[in-house]
Structure 1
Amino acid sequence: MIIDRRRFLAVTGAGLAGAMGLTKLSLAANPSGEALHGLSAFGDLKYPKGFTHFDYASPDAPTGGTFNFQPTYWYHNQNTQTFNTLNSFVRKGDAPPRMEMCFDSLVTSAHDEPDAVYCHLAEYVVISEDRNSFTFKIRDIARWHDGTPITANDVAFSYRTLKEQGNPELSLPLASLIEARIDGPMTVTLVFDGSQAAQDILSIAGFPIISEAWYTENTFDESTLTPPLASGPYKVGRMNPGSFIEYERVDNYWAKDLGTAKGLNHFQTIRIDFFKERQAGFEAFKKGDITFREEYTAKSWATEYNFPAIKDGRVIKALFDSEKRARMQAWCLNLRRERFLDKRVRDAIAQCFDFEWTNNNIFYGAYERSHSLFGGSQYEANGKPDASEKELLDQLGSEHDLPDGIYEEAYLQPKSDGSGRDRNKLRGASKLLAEAGWKPGENGYLRNDSGETLDLEFLIYASVFERIYGPFIETMRAVGINTSLRLVDPAQYQARTSSFDFDMAGLAIGWTPTPTASGLEVVFGSKAADTEGSRNLPGLQNSLVDAIIYEIGAANSRERHETAMRVLDRVLRLTREWIPNWSSANHRVAYWDIFGFKEPKPDYFWPVEALWWIDKEKAEKLGKG
């Protein structure tokens, strides 16, 4: 599952904050007591007050037409293979991707800056002198889709409700919010207790604003297929639960002429069709029912994109550079299961995966081995710690136990001989399991002193993984692990991972360009380990990790932030709760040649559905006008 916190995401460390005090959002870039049109973490804003549009926007592009695609990222409880609710901001249920396009937020991100947000629903923001309060003036022109004004009551209601009942990705970052105070009909102040990380406001101010009036008549946390009252550039149109949903462009969208929205959202209709299996979706694309597809299956990209529409040029096959942001794709073992608590067991399981064989024989050489949880970025640890990393480690080591090898070369996943049966790796895995107390028993399976077998159920939600993980499963069985592969439907997968009912599962994350402490805590923080619906799937509870996340939030310079991120990467790679697997440096994209788009694409986020448009001449040529 891909999680992207550019807009709606961003907690532990409160005790540390009380003792040490957090460095607040950069004073130079974000002075207190002034009406600011935007905020940034460490540097000045690229766009001045009153800017007409973002550089990557296309104000002269035509509007209209339908964009039918399969989403490449999603949020919260959203599911790309089915949906049974339109409530996208709670834990339960399966919501359709892009419900977020129906909602506005106080600020919106700039996709060509690493950590800048600009006032959107808010006209401006004022930071208090103690930098614990943020006062937002709501724009007088802001309107819900029914024409009624958006007020401070709606904003205050939104933050109170999301803190109490929202999805953990929304509620956990709001732990330090003590008040959403209404200071006037169009003015609201978010007051924090001082334990918040410095950059948290950048993500928190981007949370969705919901209607107090609508949710007074409707229960916030219920699963519902009634479209909620919203205010964004799109609203829910036709739908068939579990089959398809269409979002219709709001022609009289209140913000269409603002610099934060002008030149974006050109399609009249955005349609998402849901397929439980990738092959059905691929066949729909080949027929032209779907017009944009990003391919994540290397075998398909190498062997199946040779159909007539590719050969005659009606479909374009292209590579687009990945964004300048950290990527994580990894498996985890559930530490809530006692048999996985011993790091040697997790290490042995990691040894059983032969990436080199898999890449050559299944992936067509399309991937690179992942070693880091922040791969492809400046946050990835390499070699031995540099001077700044060593200084931070020394500081942390005075109060926490540091993992063995932390001052050595950054840990790399073991490389195999590519045979698919590397005897050295198998011997190493067997040795680790023996040291952890697992001994050969009946039927060749390992058992502990209580006679229990070392059972492992690998949870998946798509049959394509059966081919990929099959050799991995067989290797685990060869060393005595009683391994099985369990394929469940997408709704079951979401329910089981959200409630931590699994042995082993996978997760993919596209981090924000400047990861925030609150976003990291949802995945790695101790508090999230017991919060169902969080992304701390392994149940990691580690005071050292919490302390490093605190340092990331307290960083008062980009250099300090990067140092703390690399230290976090070093520690997580040594403790082995997560097993990184593979990554790609490009978007593998195919699309019917009916679109116009602006190049180059923005560096930090690429929402094609908001940036591209229908080229009417091209569309008519292909009979899709």
Structure 2
Amino acid sequence: MKACLNRTIAAAGLAALLVSGTLPPASAADPGWHTSSSLIGTSKYGDDFKRYDYVNPNAPKGGTLNTTTAGTFDSFNPYIVQGNPAAGFAGFGGGLLYDTLMEQSVDEGSVSHPLVAEAYKYPDDFSSATYRLDPRAKWHDGKPITVEDVIWSFTVLKANSPLYNKYYANVTEAVATGEREVTFRFDQKGNRELPKIMGDLVVLPKHWWEGTDANGKKRDIGRPTQEPPLGSAAYKISSFKAGTEIVWERVPDYWGAQLPVKIGRENFDKRRFTYFLDDNAAWQAFGKGGFQDFRAESSAKRWATEYNFPAIQAGDVTKSEYPTTSGQPMQAYVMNTRRPLFADPRVRKAITMAFDFETMNRTLFYGSYTRTDSYFEGGELASSGIPQGKELEILEPFRDKLPPELFTQEFKLPVYDTPQAGRENLRAAVQMFKEAGWVNRGGRLANEKTGEQFRIEFLGSDPTDERVATPYIDSLRRLGIDATLRIIDESQYINRTRSFDFDMLALSSFAQSQSPGNEQRDFFSSKAADTPGSRNLAGINNPVVDALVDRVIFATDRDDLIAATHALDRVLLWNYYMVPQWHLGKVRAAYWNKFGIPEKQPGYIGVDIDSWWIDKDKEAALAAKYKGVN
């Protein structure tokens, strides 16, 4: 099923967007400068990182990568709540335009390598971090990237971006401590992730944003803009058609082209993004050629039955699957607990009991998916069994505020493997509704006191949402719930999710790293629940969750982090804030045969399209055969 990448505030599947966690003791004890950093053990490249081992260092540059996206855009400023940013911009990170202090590795979890900063250091108590800028780093106008740019970027991002505000909540200030050195000071000691994740800071050009446009109007970082901004990364905006197309071009004298993270990558001269109404329209365009060269397929039905168009049959389009080791996102139907309707956890559990994954997987998804049963799916961070050892110690102080079953029963989602099991699950749901004050009156699930019927509107932004929501809606209706689905356009959907204006989301996804930390505040904290634009879509407002989020952030070592994450995961699951859906564990991709491709791809994210290049002979052959393919 589609991964909903363009409408979730955390991307999932092709890349791990956030890395944080605990630094290895050997690194923490070293008072000197560090270049490549790892939060889980040691990077496989050691201290002598020259390039990724899977890339072709001699990959030719040239050609165009055509991509489609759904919806529209009206802004080139992704770091504010207002506006819909154009494709190629990123709400976290630099996207195609800006470089960050360090770049997260695409083939190892919780590893970063130098970019704008060539090295960093931190004291033994983790009370600050100092980054030393690469003297070669410059903006596209040739001016150097300065410490002043870094300080200004930190300040405006914390002021304007809910995501950065939560991510760097414990960072009190950024100050110049040398000509090329900037120090970030923290309000607490012992947050072992902060020195590392300061490298995720995107650096913006202060002199450009504080200047004036061609009409003499002063620019404002706090407002949307359709003036192409000055950047520092490998691409800049070449042209755009408002709301329908944006074309990026590679910067020929990009300052960082020979950095280890860039060698053999970012090979396309142009990257064109064409907007379509929805994913179905984009799919039709892919089969015709010319609009989309590479497609990560999220529909199991389409993958199984619809990749039979002429170009596939002729061998001009290839299907491939790339396993990933980066863990799986929590993809779910999300209940908005800000609404009184979902305030009672018994109601949320009853709604969860009504979801029949097994039948959907068999009849709609060709048996290709596995049920997700953890917020940290796919590795050692996922909770299991009953709490023991250090995890139990962490949970014990909150015992009287948690469901008693959490301590005595393994968390299990309902299984619909037989007709009898289905009937039992629905009966259990009816009983839970009754305990919460909702009873059946003439086939309607009604409030015992007011007589008002239980109503849920699912919100979606793509016609395929109907496919994932309708079977679930049918199950809820059998319980007497007035359940409906509303499909709206992408812009409306973004605005309504930012303002938390929904009952339930038909599909949303929350990607996690293998070393969770500060970003958990934006996912789950009470403060984020009241912050428009945050990723706490469920509106989780729970002091125990807040305490466990901090426990994760201030974990003392890897074992402590794992135990704290297990505790957080377990508490989230037993409170039934979301109805978990499914995951795949690999990237399904199809592409027109115009590419040169390295012999292997990074197993961590599955596939790195930036390591591919255009094979001019293949491209010419396709262009001769299919009109418009280039």
Question: Quick check: TM above 0.5?
Answer: yes
Which of 43, 50, 61 is residue 59 of structure 2 equivalent to? Answer: 61
Alpha carbons of structure 1 residues 441 and 201: separation in structure 2 relative to 1, 3 Å: farther
Alpha carbons of structure 1 residues 536 and 587: separation in structure 2 relative to 1, 3 Å: same
1:229, distance to aligned residue in structure 2 (A) = 0.9
Partners of 1:495 and 1:420 in 2: CA distance:
42
Which of 143, 147, 156 is residue 148 of structure 1 equivalent to? Answer: 143
Alpha carbons of structure 1 residues 420 and 519: separation in structure 2 relative to 1, 3 Å: farther
What do residues 228-252 of structure 1 show as CA deviations (whole Å, max 9, x unaligned)? 1110011112222322211111111
Q: Secondary structure at the match of 2:112?
A: strand
Query: Is the CA contact 2:102–2:113 (under 8 Å) kept in the aligned structure 1?
Result: yes
1:181, distance to aligned residue in structure 2 (A) = 0.4
Alpha carbons of structure 1 residues 297 and 141: separation in structure 2 relative to 1, 3 Å: same
Identical columns (%): 34
Q: Which residue of 2 aligns with 1:179?
A: 173
Q: Which residue of 2 aligns with 1:562?
A: 562
Query: Is the CA contact 2:11–2:509 (under 8 Å) kept in the aligned structure 1?
Result: no
Partners of 2:312 and 2:391 in 1: CA distance:
49
Q: Which residue of 1 aligns with 2:163?
A: 169
Q: Which residue of 2 aligns with 1:124?
A: 119
Q: Secondary structure at the match of 1:428?
A: helix
Residues 255-404 of structure 1 aligned to structure 2 (within 5 Å): 255-289=256-290, 290-394=292-396, 396-397=397-398, 401-404=401-404
Alpha carbons of structure 1 residues 85 and 303: separation in structure 2 relative to 1, 3 Å: same
Q: Secondary structure at the match of 1:29?
A: helix
Alpha carbons of structure 1 residues 195 and 176: separation in structure 2 relative to 1, 3 Å: farther
Q: Which residue of 2 aligns with 1:83?
A: 73
Letter in 2 for 1:390: L
Which of 93, 117, 125 is residue 83 of structure 2 equivalent to? Answer: 93
What do residues 379-424 of structure 1 show as CA deviations (whole Å, max 9, x unaligned)? 2222233434334333x447x6332222334312101145599322
Q: Which residue of 2 aligns with 1:501?
A: 501
What stretches of structure 1 of length at least 5 have no aligned partner? 11-22, 72-79
Query: Is the CA contact 2:119–2:132 (under 8 Å) kept in the aligned structure 1?
Result: yes
Query: Is the CA contact 1:42–1:557 (under 8 Å) kept in the aligned structure 2?
Result: no
Q: Secondary structure at the match of 1:336?
A: coil
What do residues 255-295 of structure 1 show as CA deviations (whole Å, max 9, x unaligned)? 11112322210111112222222221111111112111111
**Is 90-99 or 417-426 further displaced after alignment?**
417-426
Which of 99, 109, 128 is residue 114 of structure 1 equivalent to? Answer: 109
Q: Which residue of 2 aligns with 1:473?
A: 473
Alpha carbons of structure 1 residues 213 and 298: separation in structure 2 relative to 1, 3 Å: same
Query: Is the CA contact 1:522–1:535 (under 8 Å) kept in the aligned structure 2?
Result: yes
Residues 189-208 of structure 1 aligned to structure 2 (within 5 Å): 189-194=183-188, 197-208=191-202
Partners of 2:545 and 2:600 in 1: CA distance:
37
Residues 578-617 of structure 1 aligned to structure 2 (within 5 Å): 578-606=578-606, 608-617=608-617
1:24, distance to aligned residue in structure 2 (A) = 7.5
1:541, distance to aligned residue in structure 2 (A) = 1.6
For the pair 1:412 / 2:412, whether they are aligned, the reply is: yes
What do residues 563-620 of structure 1 show as CA deviations (whole Å, max 9, x unaligned)? 2222222221111012111111221111111212224322333563322111233223
1:115, distance to aligned residue in structure 2 (A) = 1.2
1:25, distance to aligned residue in structure 2 (A) = 4.2
Partners of 1:247 and 1:364 in 2: CA distance:
38
Query: Is the CA contact 1:67–1:609 (under 8 Å) kept in the aligned structure 2?
Result: no
**Is 328-337 or 595-604 further displaced after alignment?**
595-604
Q: Secondary structure at the match of 2:519?
A: helix
Partners of 1:369 and 1:107 in 2: CA distance:
35
Q: Which residue of 2 aligns with 1:38?
A: 36
Which of 45, 49, 52 is residue 51 of structure 1 equivalent to? Answer: 49
Query: Is the CA contact 1:438–1:448 (under 8 Å) kept in the aligned structure 2?
Result: yes
Alpha carbons of structure 1 residues 325 and 468: separation in structure 2 relative to 1, 3 Å: closer
TM-score by length of 1: 0.91
1:348, distance to aligned residue in structure 2 (A) = 1.4
Q: Which residue of 2 aligns with 1:134?
A: 129
Letter in 2 for 1:251: P
Q: Which residue of 2 aligns with 1:464?
A: 464
Alpha carbons of structure 1 residues 418 and 85: separation in structure 2 relative to 1, 3 Å: farther
Letter in 1 for 2:38: S
Alpha carbons of structure 1 residues 154 and 335: separation in structure 2 relative to 1, 3 Å: same
1:153, distance to aligned residue in structure 2 (A) = 0.5
TM-score by length of 2: 0.90
Partners of 1:409 and 1:7 in 2: CA distance:
32
Q: Which residue of 1 aligns with 2:446?
A: 446
Query: Is the CA contact 1:370–1:583 (under 8 Å) kept in the aligned structure 2?
Result: yes
Partners of 2:243 and 2:492 in 1: CA distance:
14
Query: Is the CA contact 1:7–1:108 (under 8 Å) kept in the aligned structure 2?
Result: no
Q: Secondary structure at the match of 1:422?
A: helix
Partners of 1:360 and 1:615 in 2: CA distance:
40
Letter in 2 for 1:617: D
Q: Secondary structure at the match of 1:145?
A: coil
For the pair 1:572 / 2:562, whether they are aligned, the reply is: no
Query: Is the CA contact 2:601–2:607 (under 8 Å) kept in the aligned structure 1?
Result: no
Partners of 2:195 and 2:73 in 1: CA distance:
31
Q: Secondary structure at the match of 2:553?
A: helix
Q: Secondary structure at the match of 1:622?
A: helix
Alpha carbons of structure 1 residues 543 and 193: separation in structure 2 relative to 1, 3 Å: same
Letter in 2 for 1:82: T
**Is 45-54 or 469-478 further displaced after alignment?**
45-54
Query: Is the CA contact 1:178–1:192 (under 8 Å) kept in the aligned structure 2?
Result: yes
1:442, distance to aligned residue in structure 2 (A) = 6.3
Partners of 2:599 and 2:420 in 1: CA distance:
42
Between the two proteins, the alignment pairs up a number of residues equal to 602
1:7, distance to aligned residue in structure 2 (A) = 7.8
Q: Secondary structure at the match of 1:153?
A: helix
Partners of 2:354 and 2:17 in 1: CA distance:
37
Alpha carbons of structure 1 residues 196 and 174: separation in structure 2 relative to 1, 3 Å: farther
Query: Is the CA contact 1:521–1:549 (under 8 Å) kept in the aligned structure 2?
Result: yes
**Is 489-498 or 120-129 further displaced after alignment?**
120-129
Alpha carbons of structure 1 residues 622 and 544: separation in structure 2 relative to 1, 3 Å: same
Q: Which residue of 2 aligns with 1:241?
A: 242
Query: Is the CA contact 1:317–1:589 (under 8 Å) kept in the aligned structure 2?
Result: yes
1:49, distance to aligned residue in structure 2 (A) = 4.5
1:195, distance to aligned residue in structure 2 (A) = 5.8
1:340, distance to aligned residue in structure 2 (A) = 0.8
Q: CA RMSD in A?
A: 2.4
Query: Is the CA contact 2:175–2:183 (under 8 Å) kept in the aligned structure 1?
Result: yes
